[in-house]
A and B are shown apart, each in its own frame.
Chain A
Amino acid sequence: MTNVTPRSDIVLDVQDAVKHYALRRRGLRAPRRSVHAVDGVSIRLHSGQTLGIVGESGCGKSTFGRLITGLETPTSGTIRVGAHGVPIAAAHGTGTVQAVFQDPASALDPRMTVRESIAEALGKVAGRERERRVDEALAAVGLTPEFGVRYPHELSGGQQQRVCIARAIVDRPDLILLDEAVSSLDASLQAQILHLLERLQQDTGTAYVFISHDLRAVRQVSHSVAVMYLGQVVEQAPAEAFDRGLLHPYAVALRSTEPRILDEGTEHVERIVLTGEPPSAVSPPAGCRFAPRCPIAEDHCRSVAPDLVEATSGHLVRCHKPGELTLSGVARADAEV
């Protein structure tokens, strides 16, 4: 999406964000080391759009989420949010960015009523206006006003998540981070909540960053999708490209493991099972970070780290051999290795 001429409706502009966490020393003479949770991510997002971020647990997608909400400060790089492009450090806590987290039970204070929790986002609004806005938000997420006086433990998981969404939208933010927001819900509730989120976006034009390990959910709601691996974006493409052709071997593998319903597609898809664990984010490999697990890696891949380059318009990939591993061509690739 970077080829689109920058417009004023950009609500998230991340330039080369890096986040390292220092580790405790293991021994007296051991060197100080750090976890490279996010390692040079650049992303732009327009209002009314949804950016999906997928990857295995530990790939840095949640840390990235905490960076763009200002809950963590990046080690380096710049993050600007909102229509005026305010640096996140200044925008943090102004209600420009809101978030919905994975576990709704932990995202609601057990000692606050639903109304109190939602009203927490309305610091600058008082009195009757505040009550009206809370009622509006409750209605928008499909809860009746009588839920307002309840405590979180009196609600079901889906209702709790609706309250979290109500709190996120009530102050009309420019951007909402959805960090695994539907992952803890069962399938039918997931569909309901995803539908609710889509409807809210159409009504308000809020941009979403939708983080999930579940490629299907991400695809369903996103306009563009970024695949993360070990702190880096390895492929970023418009959502449609995910159906037509993915270029990075990791993204292809991720896609192939997606559970499918029989009549969804006619083509036969081999599952590409990746061997081994992702390498440690403490000492990333020298060359391509995916090379140790890549079915088509060559010596070149192991020594030289590829850059994120534009393969086709709006489709970015970080690979020396983009597109060589395809869903139908797995058998051929395997034979070559």
Chain B
Amino acid sequence: MSTVAHRRRPSRSVRWPVRGVVANIAIFLILFYVVLAVLGPYLTPFAPNQLNVGPRLSPPSAEHWFGTDALGRDQLSRVVAAAQPALLAAVYAVTFALAIGTVIGIAAGFLGGLWDGALSRLVDLLFAIPEYLLAILVLTIMGSGLINASVAIGIVCIPRFARIARGSTLEIMGRNYIDAARLCGRGRIWIMRRHILPNIASPLVIMTAINLSTAEGAYAALSFLGFGVRPPEADYGSMISSSQQYLLTDPWLVVFPSIAFVVLVLAFNLIGDVMRDRLDPRSRTSAGA
């Protein structure tokens, strides 16, 4: 009756799931953007929406590092200011999808039968619609804007969360400790709260990380198409789209917001990719990298 050798840390909390150089770089980059988003207004040399702070369409210079746009606004200030809507949109969208998707998924997996049938159909239906078409349709009904675009992206992401929540719930439901809890007279709420939620938390956390990058890219694309925050507020997508006409003559107008945005998405992608390995144990062979 000796204790088994491998005593690990109690696994009550979700363990910090990313380690390694790549993940550290990614986390550092995201923290950098968070700082920009929070402190942006105090850091920028000019007010991001103020017109004619310099000559129009001036190339990068000592005074305007990233140049100025067609309205004479300081491009650097705008790139910094755009970090806020970009991060907020991703966080709003994923939070929305996580909340609704998890509820749908757990309900479907736990209640089973007709509920499962109906909820799974609903999720399949959402999943069967091309993502951008769905988002654009939702936005034509609701109108554009940061919150609305986030909700539209959130709706698109719901099926992913619902599916993983349902699958994990079903897996947990097959464990004998659920039977044991039922025999102990524990009700549905107790079982969901004490057994199912803690045990499906890690795949959901991983899904959240993966979807942050999707949501980020989707928001910028919607903003590019004119569904994001309303002008004159700075936003990567709309900055890039309004600079399209200057692409051939003043490429820096496209280059700087593109770089800022690509680095942000890359950071999210890196974390998502490391997380995906954790979610999918079959490909875990390289998870430590």
Instruction: Please determine if A and B sit in direct contact within the complex, based on CB atoms under 8 angstroms apart.
Output: yes
**B-binding residues in A (CB < 8 A):** 69-71, 92-95, 97-99, 101-103, 106-113, 117, 120-121, 123, 142, 151, 153-156, 158-159, 164, 167, 171
Chain A contacts of B3 at CB under 8 A? 154-156
| Binary interface encoding of chain B residues 158-176 relative to chain A, with 1 for a CB under 8 A from any of its CBs, else 0 | 0000000000000000011
- Assess A101 versus B1: contact at CB under 8 Å? Given A93-B185, A95-B185, A120-B186: no
Q: Which of B133-190 contact A (CB under 8 A)?
A: 175-177, 179-186
CB B204 to nearest CB in A, in angstroms, measures 14
Given contacts A107-B177, A109-B177, A154-B3, contact A95 B184 (CB under 8 A): yes
Task: Check if A106 sits within 8 Å of B175, measured CB to CB.
Answer: yes
In Å, the complex CA distance between A131 and B135 comes to: 54
* Residues on the A chain within 8 Å of B282, using CB: none
Contact (Cβ within 8 A) A120 B4: no
Contacts A71-B179, A154-B3, A154-B4 given; does A111 touch B184 at CB 8 Å: no
* Interface pairs (23), CB distance under 8 Å: A71-B182, A92-B182, A98-B183, A103-B176, A106-B177, A107-B179, A107-B180, A109-B175, A109-B194, A109-B195, A109-B199, A111-B11, A120-B184, A121-B184, A121-B185, A123-B186, A153-B6, A154-B3, A154-B8, A155-B3, A156-B1, A159-B1, A167-B180
Q: Which chain A positions have C-beta within 8 A of B186? A: 93, 120, 123
Q: Which of B2, B11, B183, B194 has the most CB of A within 10 A?
A: B183
Shortest distance between the CB of A30 and any CB in chain B (Å)? 21
Dominant SS at the B interface?
loop
List the interface of chain B (C-beta within 8 A of A).
1-4, 6-8, 10-12, 175-177, 179-186, 194-195, 198-199
Is the Cβ of B185 less than 8 Å from the Cβ of A108?
no
Closest-CB distance, A282 to chain B (whole angstroms) = 22
Residue of A71, A154, A167 touching B184 (CB-CB under 8 A): A167
* Among B2, B10, B176, contact of A151 (Cβ-Cβ < 8 Å): B10
A95→B184 CA distance, assembly (Å): 6
Q: How far is the CB of B253 from chain A (nearest CB, A)?
A: 52
Of chain B, the residue at the smallest CB distance from A149 is B10
CA gap between A110 and B11 in the complex, in Å: 8
When the two chains form their complex, are residues A120 and B181 in contact, meaning their CB atoms are under 8 A apart?
Answer: yes
With a cutoff of 8 Å between Cβ atoms, the chain A residues found around residue B8 in the complex are: 153-154
A167 to B247, CA, bound (A): 71
Closest B residue to A155 by beta carbon equals: B4
Do A111 and B199 touch (CB < 8 A)? yes
A120-B1 in contact given A151-B11, A153-B11 (Cβ < 8 Å): no
A272 to B288, alpha carbons, bound, how many Å? 55
Residues of B within 8 A of A111 (CB): 11-12, 198-199
Chain A residues within 8 Å of B183, by CB = 69-71, 92-93, 95, 97-99, 121
Residues of chain B with a CB closer than 8 A to A108's CB = 177
Q: Which residues of B contact A158 (CB under 8 A)?
A: 1
- Contact partners of B180 in chain A: CB under 8 A: 99, 101, 107, 120, 164, 167
Chain A residues positioned under 8 Å from B182 (CB to CB): 71, 92-93
- Which chain B residue has the least Cβ–Cβ distance from A97? B183
Name the distance in Å between B267's Cβ and chain A's nearest Cβ: 31
Closest Cβ–Cβ distance, residue B112 to chain A (whole Å) = 13
- In the complex, given contacts A98-B184, A99-B179, A108-B177, what are 12 additional A-B residue pairs having Cβ atoms less than 8 angstroms apart? A93-B183, A93-B184, A95-B184, A106-B175, A109-B194, A109-B198, A112-B194, A121-B183, A121-B185, A154-B4, A156-B2, A156-B4
